[in-house]
Amino acid sequence: MTQKAKKKTLSLKRTAIRIEPKQFSVAELVRELNSFNVNNYWDLGKFLVEKVMPTARKQGMFEDQVLKMISSHPGVKFPFSMLKQCQQYFTYYPDVKKRPLPEVFYFDLATKVDESKRRDEYEKMAVDYRWTISDLRKKIHDDYMARRIDERTKYGFDLRERNVWTYETPDPRFGKSNYKGRIPGQIVANVLYYYTKPGDYVVDPFAGSGTLGDIIDTLPYFQDRKYSMYDANPIDERITRNNVLLTGLPEQTGSVDYIFLDPPTEFTQKDTSAGFEVSIDASKADFTLKFKGIVRECARILKSGGRVSIVVEPAFAGTEFLDFPNETIQLFREAGFKQIGKVYLPRRSSESTGRAAQGLAEVKGLRVLSSDCRELLTFQKS
């Protein structure tokens, strides 16, 4: 190749890097992105919105997908969250340079306030009262805290809007703190919020430390619900002694609106400490036997349209996986229920740490996982 031709190829390559990327080459994008100053959020946002996103859309990629791909590339100096913030900043304030406040105000507004009406209100207050950036940040933070308190006082508990519920600290008002297997009360409160209505009659066949009763007795939001609690080993006078496996439930046919099932872990998790292998088929058969009876009893006592939620966890038995949530779904379907909900209940970090301390498990030279997430499944009787 002649010197001239070589030069031409090189300059074409350079141009290809500088102009709009037509095809995604992550390495090229990363080089381009890294040329931005870390403080120049607006320019970086403009580059992402005007250059990267149109190409991404043409290639059928979602915006977050592209940002994640770029930020996970080795050597890129911007984490995903920062790319996302820059993109938001430019999207909301393409005209930032013509606005009355310093740019940092708009960066904070774009990344901390979701509603455009509220962003405009904060901007107006900042101009009218000659706020510093600290004044703006304090006001946004105080308003956020006030909204959270409003929510809590409205319902009296920490309401969740999506289907992953983790509560690091169980609400001390509900259940007994030293009771093994007690479920965080916030989970039961959310369950009652989503799956019951005023006037409903609610039954808890595995009441344990009485978490469900505490919530209905304590929170005015649920005062219209009536309840009955049962347990094989009752620990307070509100709970009636009853072994659901032996005698079913002492409720009239078609009389209950909602059932909350939080069965003991022994119903699914097998104790393998004895050193012998638990037969998978035996575990499944045992599970089916127990739960078939419980499901049948739920179908009997629920009104038509009544609902039942169950907390259930899969198990890794040696190298096999026992998908108890799936088995549960089958049993309820066979009994004429339709599934109306699924929520993930990851274990609290203190519970997970305890399990991790046991060390990595190996069975017959194979590495095995253990479960760290329960599922809350809800069904409706037709």
Ligand X SMILES: C[S@@+](CC[C@H](N)C(=O)[O-])C[C@H]1O[C@@H](n2cnc3c(N)ncnc32)[C@H](O)[C@@H]1O
Interface contacts to ligand X, rule CB under 6 A: 175, 179, 181-183, 205-206, 208-209, 211, 231-233, 243-245, 262-264
Q: Smallest Cα–Cα separation from 374: which of 315, 321, 320, 332?
A: 315
Output the smallest distance, CB 208 to ligand X, in A.
Answer: 3
Output the smallest distance, CB 205 to ligand X, in A.
Answer: 6
CA 211 from centre of chain: 22
324 vs 284: CA distance, rounded Å: 8
Nearest to ligand X of 51, 348 (CB atom): 348
* DSSP H or E segment with residue 308: strand 302-312
Q: Is the dihedral of CA 301, 303, 305, 309 positive or negative?
A: negative
Output the smallest distance, CB 204 to ligand X, in A.
Answer: 7
Output the smallest distance, CB 250 to ligand X, in A.
Answer: 12
Q: Look at residue 221 and give its three-state secondary structure.
A: helix
To the nearest 10 degrees (0 to 180), the angle between helices 26-34 and 63-71 is 80
Angle at 371 between CA 368 and CA 377, to 5 degrees: 145
Q: Tokens 């791909």: give the residue.
A: 69
Neighbours of 209 (CB within 10 A): 22
Nearest to ligand X of 88, 211 (CB atom): 211
Output the smallest distance, CB 241 to ligand X, in A.
Answer: 9
Token output for 25: 């080459």
Say if strands 320-322 and 315-317 run parallel, antiparallel, or are unpaired: antiparallel
Nearest to ligand X of 45, 263 (CB atom): 263
Token output for 97: 């340079």
Nearest to ligand X of 204, 257 (CB atom): 204
Say if strands 366-368 and 361-363 run parallel, antiparallel, or are unpaired: antiparallel
* DSSP H or E segment with residue 258: strand 256-261
Output the smallest distance, CB 184 to ligand X, in A.
Answer: 8
Q: Smallest Cα–Cα separation from 233: which of 267, 266, 210?
A: 210
318 vs 315: CA distance, rounded Å: 9
Nearest to ligand X of 40, 240 (CB atom): 240
Output the smallest distance, CB 179 to ligand X, in A.
Answer: 5
Residue nearest to ligand X (CB): 208
146 vs 148: CA distance, rounded Å: 5
Nearest to ligand X of 24, 165 (CB atom): 165
Nearest to ligand X of 182, 347 (CB atom): 182
Nearest to ligand X of 200, 262 (CB atom): 262
- CA distance from start to end of the chain: 78
Output the smallest distance, CB 247 to ligand X, in A.
Answer: 9
Output the smallest distance, CB 366 to ligand X, in A.
Answer: 31
Token output for 136: 């703006």
Nearest to ligand X of 80, 193 (CB atom): 193
